[in-house]
Amino acid sequence: MPLSTRLTEYFGVKHPIISAPMALASGGVLAAAVSRAGGLGLIGGGYGDVHWLNEQFEAAGNQSVGCGFITWSLRKNPSLLDDVLSRRPKCLFLSFDDPEPFASLSHAQGIPVICQIQTVKDAARAIEVGAEVIVAQGSEAGGHGEKRSTFTLVPEVADLIAAKSADTILCAAGGVADGRGIAAALMLGADGVVVGSRFWASAEALVHPRMHQAAIAADGDDTVRSRVMDIVRAIEWPERFTARVLRNSFIDKWHGNEANLHTHIADEARRWRQAWTDGDVTVANTFVGEAVGLIHTIQPVQEIIEQLTNEAERIIRDHAKGI
């Protein structure tokens, strides 16, 4: 029996799983595969390239998918939102900055809004702007995020929702890569999960094969939160956010030594960009979360969703029987 929750009912999907809108990695093929397998698939709008986004919506074909944006970056190029909303995505996912005015613009078109937050204060703001879904993202997560852990942030936001806005749906993000993670998230008060790293490690993700291999060889101790990658890419992330990546010799050299990195930036940026293109994981960073230690194979999305949901359903069934 599939797990039915407020999330599955609201979006009319089979499983309480949303795929994270991962910049560069979550294209239309991945998003469509997730929706086809019974989850809610999202295209990662990332830093906002209109041609890339158009290609990805085409690649998703007639599957219903949503789209996510890095909110502070969308603010620099707000017309992108009109393009995306005109495609009638299943939802708009906003993360990393105040959701307005984008939440209101989306609501005006009848498109539900998912706000990913990293603090209780931002969860309160998401309630204020009428987000249909709040995603509480813990620091275990791959990619950008902040400091709170999933295990305490999710129940704290669940309490806030219960007190202030009982109809708001809650998802957990950060560290969910198997059925145990889904079951735990539901026990903490979530209605579903946002899964990034596990779908990043799928056959459909837009990821260099060497990065996939590096992730398979790594365990959860091998990741670190850093801003070194944003410095070399010249992406001006707000100070509060860092990104979780696999450690490598580049990180070991520059993490904690950022001031010095600025003095070598031209050469180091060139070296990093070339390594990204080549899939040289000793220099370019593999963006993935602590859950990397739970990921041992690159599989098609359909198989991943079957495994995650079968395991979660079994755990919850056995738990109910007191086994």
The footprint of ligand FMN (CB under 6 A) covers 20-23, 25, 44, 46, 68, 70, 95, 116, 137, 140-143, 173-176, 194-197, 200, 287-289, 291
Residue (64 or 139) nearer to ligand FMN, CB:
139
Among residues 299, 301, 300, 305, the alpha carbon closest in space to that of 14 is found at 305
CB 95 → ligand FMN: shortest distance, Å? 3
By Cβ distance, which residue is nearest to ligand FMN? 196
**Both tokens of residue 31?**
């998003």
Residue (158 or 215) nearer to ligand FMN, CB:
215
Maximum CA extent, the chain:
62
What span, in angstroms and rounded, lies between the C-alpha atoms of 243 and 237?
10
CB 132 → ligand FMN: shortest distance, Å? 16
Residue (57 or 287) nearer to ligand FMN, CB:
287
CB 197 → ligand FMN: shortest distance, Å? 3
Residue (3 or 114) nearer to ligand FMN, CB:
114
* Residue bearing tokens 């993670």: 181
Helix (H, G, I), strand (E, B) or coil at 173: strand
CB 42 → ligand FMN: shortest distance, Å? 9
Residue (112 or 142) nearer to ligand FMN, CB:
142
Looking only at the bridges linking them, the beta strands covering 242-246 and 143-145 are antiparallel
CB 61 → ligand FMN: shortest distance, Å? 22
Among residues 117, 106, 122, 166, the alpha carbon closest in space to that of 141 is found at 117
Helix (H, G, I), strand (E, B) or coil at 114: strand
Cβ(244)–Cβ(288) under 8 Å? yes
